[in-house]
């Protein structure tokens, strides 16, 4: 999705990029213990090799890229923009946490465990010991405000972060008056561009 005129010099731009796919085994059925370990492994896994960079990013127009503090975001940023760019990591941009349900006797594909964990979390359940939904929304608002501040001086601001958090940030930026210029979905390496007149 794109809108005309999104390269105008009188506009500020924020690009939200989701990290690339972590290199981690997903096949087979997982019990609760193995699913819990999967989440821990996912947070430290290296990403797979990026075969094709997403289009529409300002590769030659920026000097700094913002990332979360998680390896998959930092590695994605480096693979996309190269070592010459300044990278600024901030744990404020880390992904919303997930917690596997306590179902010790059942085995499911990992996608079922993760979807169930996220759904209950979105409903305000299954968040004991981790950041809950309301807290994550409040943090996403802080993220949006910080990115808007960066854009005021950088003019084109890029964040490489995570799927769920990027969705929340996008929603808050739109409430702050930013317009959606382009969105390529929520999958790995998806890009959302938002613009605002100066």
Q: For residue 62, which of 15, 4, 94 has the smallest C-alpha distance? A: 15
Query: For 14-42, what is the mean pLDDT?
Result: 97
For residue 183, the model assigns a pLDDT of 94
Query: For 63-88, what is the mean pLDDT?
Result: 97
Instruction: Quote the mean pLDDT of the chain.
Output: 94
CA angle 31, 37, 40 (to 5 degrees): 150
Q: Who's near 193: CB < 8 A, 6+ residues apart?
A: 6, 13, 14, 15, 16, 56, 180, 181, 182, 183
pLDDT band at residue 25, thresholds of 50, 70 and 90? Answer: very high
CA 80 to the chain's CA centroid: 15
Identify the structural domains of the chain with CATH numbers, from first to last. 11-197 (3.40.50.1240)
pLDDT band at residue 10, thresholds of 50, 70 and 90? Answer: confident
pLDDT above 70 as % of the chain:
95
Is the model's pTM score more than 0.85? Answer: yes
């Amino acid at each position: 999705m794109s809108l005309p005129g999104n390269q105008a010099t009188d506009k500020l731009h924020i690009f939200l990029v989701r990290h690339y796919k972590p290199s981690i085994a997903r096949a087979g059925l997982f019990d609760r213990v193995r699913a819990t370990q999967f989440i821990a492994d996912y947070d430290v896994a290296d990403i797979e090799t990026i075969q094709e960079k997403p289009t529409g990013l300002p590769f030659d127009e920026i000097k700094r890229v913002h990332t979360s503090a998680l390896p998959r975001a930092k590695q994605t940023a480096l693979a996309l923009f190269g070592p010459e760019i300044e990278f600024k990591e901030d744990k404020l941009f880390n992904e919303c946490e997930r917690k596997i349900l306590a179902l010790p006797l059942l085995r499911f594909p990992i996608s079922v465990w993760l979807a169930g964990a996220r759904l209950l979390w979105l409903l305000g359940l299954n968040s004991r010991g981790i950041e809950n939904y309301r807290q994550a929304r409040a943090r996403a608002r802080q993220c949006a405000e910080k990115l808007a501040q960066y854009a005021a001086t950088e003019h084109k601001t890029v964040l490489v972060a995570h799927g769920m958090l990027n969705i929340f940030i996008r929603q808050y930026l739109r409430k702050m008056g930013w317009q959606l210029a382009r969105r390529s979905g929520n999958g790995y390496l998806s890009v959302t561009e938002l613009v605002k007149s100066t």
